[in-house]
Amino acid sequence: MIPKIKLDECTGCEDCLESCPPEVISMVNGKAKIEEALCEECGACVDECPEGAIYLP
């Protein structure tokens, strides 16, 4: 499954950017955004987010 982001909980720390193997996460207006079409569904970003803002639906 492709991870989802709770934008109200994302603090823009950028930890997820560093953890994403295919590098498909970017910052838009200070919040993480996943390019879903390119996501490999590895879940690394879910485990790395200190705020729990990234989750698997």
User: How many domains does one find in the chain?
Assistant: 1
pLDDT for position 39 = 97
Residue 47: its pLDDT value, please? 95
pLDDT band at 31 (very low <50, low <70, confident <90, very high): very high
The whole domain housing 42 covers 4-55
**Is there a contact between 33 and 26 (Cβ–Cβ < 8 Å)?**
yes
pLDDT at 36: 96
pTM recorded for the entire structure: 0.91
Cα gap 34→32, rounded to integer Å:
7
Q: What is the CATH number of the domain that holds 30?
A: 3.30.70.20
Per-residue CA distances from 21 to 9, 29, 33 (Å): 23, 22, 15
CA–CA–CA angle 44, 54, 23 (5° rounding)? 45
